[in-house]
Amino acid sequence: MTMLKTPPAARVGGGARLARRAFVVREMGILLALALLIGITAATNPRFLGAQSVKDLLLGSTILAILAVGQAIVIITRNVDLSVGSVLGLSAFATGSLFVAAPGLPIPLVILIGTVLGAACGAINGGLIAAARVPALVVTLGTLYVFRGVDYMWATSRQINAADMPPGFLGMGTATVLGVPVLTLFAVAVLLVVGYYLRSYRSGRELYAIGSDPAAARLLGIPVGRRVFAAFVASGALAGLAGVLYAARFGTLDANAGTGLELNVVAAVVVGGVAIFGGSGSVYGAALGAVLLTTIGAALPTLGVNPFWQRAAVGALILAAIGLDRALAARLGRSLRGRNTHV
Amino acid sequence: MATPLLALSGVSKSFGAVAALRDVRLELYSGEAHALVGENGAGKSTLVKILAGVHAPDQGTLTLDGRPVTLGNPADARAAGIAVIYQEPTLFPDLSVAENIFMGRQPLRSLRRIASAEMRARAIELCERLGVPLDPDRPARGLSIADQQIVEIAKALSLDARVLVMDEPTAALSGVEVERLFTVARSLRDSGTAVLFISHRFDEVFALCQRVTVMRDGRWVSTDPAADLSVDEVVRRMVGREVTSLFPKEPATVGEPRLEVRGLTRHGSFADVSFTVRGGEIVALAGLVGAGRSEVSRAIFGVDPYDAGQVCVDGKRLPRGDTAAAIEAGLALVPEDRRQQGLVMELSVERNATLPRRWALTRMGLLFGGAERRAAGTWAERLQVKAARLSDAVSTLSGGNQQKVVLAKWLATHPRVLIVDEPTRGIDVGTKSEVHRLLSRLAGDGVAVLMVSSELPEVLGMADRVLVMHEGRLAADIPRDRADEESVMLAATGQGGRS
Residue B58 touches partner A, C-beta closer than 8 Å: no
The structural domains of chain A, ordered by start, are 37-334 (1.10.3470)
pLDDT for residue B342: 63
Q: For residue A162, is pLDDT > 80?
A: yes
Whether B429 contacts B41, CB under 8 Å:
no
What is the pLDDT, as a whole number, of residue B382? Answer: 66
Distance in angstroms (rounded) separating the CA atoms of residues B337 and A316 = 37
Q: Are B343 and B410 in contact (CB under 8 A)?
A: no
Other CB atoms within 10 Å distance of the CB of residue A10:
9
Is B115 in contact with B106 (CB distance < 8 Å)?
yes
- ipTM of the prediction: 0.84
Using pLDDT thresholds of 50, 70 and 90, give the confidence band for residue B497: very low
Cβ atoms B7, B399 nearer than 8 A? no
CB contact under 8 A, B95 and A208: yes
Query: Is B77 an 8 Å CB contact of chain A?
Result: yes
**What confidence score (pLDDT) does residue B7 get?**
93
SS3 category, B384: coil
pLDDT at A4 over 50: no
Which domains does chain B possess?
Answer: 6-91+143-239 (3.40.50.300), 257-492 (3.40.50.300)
Ramachandran angles phi, psi of B261, nearest 5°: -120, 125
Confidence band for A265, pLDDT divided at 50, 70 and 90 = very high
B16-49 pLDDT tens trace: 666 789 999 999 999 999 999 887 667 888 899 9
Mapping DSSP to helix (H, G, I), strand (E, B) and coil, where does residue B118 land? helix
pLDDT in tens, B440-468: 888 888 899 999 987 777 888 888 999 99
Q: How far apart are CA A237 and CA A88, in angstroms?
A: 9
Does the structure show a pLDDT above 50 at B328? Answer: yes
Q: Which chain A residues touch B147 with a CB distance below 8 Å?
A: 340, 342
A42, B167 contact by CB (below 8 A)? no
**Average pLDDT over every residue of B112-136:** 90
> Among A190-204, A239-253, B188-202, which stretch is predicted with the lowest mean pLDDT?
B188-202
Q: Do A342 and B471 touch (CB under 8 A)?
A: no
The string of pLDDT tens digits covering residues A45-95 is 888 888 888 888 898 899 999 999 999 999 999 999 999 999 999 999 999
How many residue contacts between A and B have a Cβ separation below 8 Å? Answer: 142
pLDDT above 90 (res A33): no
CB proximity B114 to A under 8 Å: yes
* Residues shown for chain B: 499
Q: A297 pLDDT band (50/70/90 cuts)?
A: confident
Burial of B408 from C-beta contacts in 10 A (0-12 / 13-18 / 19+): buried
Give B369-385 pLDDT, tens digit per residue: 666 677 667 766 766 66
Give the pLDDT confidence score for residue A72 in this predicted structure: 97
What was the pLDDT predicted at B201?
77
**% of chain B exceeding 70 in pLDDT:** 85
CB contact under 8 A, A16 and B133: no
Is residue B244's pLDDT more than 60? no
- CA dist B382 and B388 (Å) reads 16
The C-alpha angle with vertex B346 and arms to B344 and B351, in degrees rounded to 5, equals 60
- The predicted pLDDT at position A31 comes to 86
Query: What pLDDT, on the 0 to 100 scale, is given for residue B88?
Result: 73
Residue-wise pLDDT for B38-88, tens only, equals: 876 678 888 999 999 999 999 999 999 889 999 988 888 988 899 998 877
A-chain residues within 8 Å CB-CB of B488?
none
Q: Which of B29-43, B311-325, B405-419 has the lowest mean pLDDT?
A: B405-419
Task: Say whether B91 and A341 touch across the interface (CB within 8 A).
Answer: no
